[in-house]
Amino acid sequence: MSTLEVRDLHVSVDADGEDREILKGVNLTVESGQTHALMGPNGSGKSTLAYAIAGHPKYRITAGTVTLDGEDVLGMSPDERARAGLFLAMQYPVEVPGVSMSNFLRTSVTAVRGEAPKLRLWLKEMKEAMAQLQMDPKFAERNVNEGFSGGERKRAEILQMELLQPKMAILDETDSGLDVDALRTVSAGINRVKDTGETGIVLITHFTRILQYVKPDFVHVFMDGRIVANGGPELAEQIEAEGYEQFASVGTGS
């Protein structure tokens, strides 16, 4: 059982030479086997939380703590956080020219597992995972995300998650830009990881459509850099019916 704990987290960025506070005291606890949906409008700070936990240098922690199984995450470099069991699926996955998917994935898995998987077993494991995500085996020899469509990039992110088997996975708007078929395929991959009971999942999204396929245990509403409401799946239904405006006064503290 693993636990990710975020306590009173404040995060700022440099915006046009001025220090701008984005996160204003975020509290969140995620345990293995749980799925938490983090919902809110554009600009509310959801992605900032994801990147701050992952260690993006753009985001400056001004107060608060983040721990994984009691260990100080904020004191780790980004690669140390990944080896400790944190995984971030990015909203806009970047291209890595000159590095094949196969080499990238095997190198990543080696870093996390502590030893390189035997090549024959690795190829079998990778091909099976790709088949489940309906990915053409030829993608293994293509450069990471180079020339990939939006849906292919999102499949590649979930492929990484399935192979790395992290303790905690933060999925930043994995559903954005996906058609219905791709959404179902990606959701099935998330559910396979979820069903192992070994990974805690934070699913960041604007919309409820992915929650038709990936059922959350907890739903949190993010407004103005804070979590302003908590609940179960019924909270997502309330958002679908009434939107985010109902939480506006809570988010501003008025």
Listed by start position, the domains of the chain span 3-93+166-180+198-252, 96-147
Report pLDDT digits (tens) over 212-236: 999 999 999 999 999 999 999 999 9
Report pLDDT digits (tens) over 27-42: 999 999 999 999 999 8
Q: What is the pTM of this model?
A: 0.91
> What are the structure tokens assigned to 122, written together?
């690795």
The pLDDT-based confidence of 14 (bands split at 50, 70, 90) is confident
Mean pLDDT along residues 44-52: 94
- Alpha-carbon span 90 to 111, nearest angstrom: 20
Mean pLDDT along residues 53-79: 95
Q: Is the pLDDT of residue 17 over 60?
A: yes
Mean pLDDT along residues 144-159: 89
- Alpha-carbon span 75 to 67, nearest angstrom: 10
H-helix segments, the chain: 46-54, 78-84, 101-113, 119-132, 150-164, 180-195, 233-242, 248-252
* C-alpha to C-alpha distances, 129 to 133, 146, 149, nearest whole angstrom: 7, 20, 19
Fold of the domain spanning 3-93+166-180+198-252: Rossmann fold (3.40.50)
> What are the structure tokens assigned to 149, written together?
């469509």
The pLDDT-based confidence of 250 (bands split at 50, 70, 90) is low
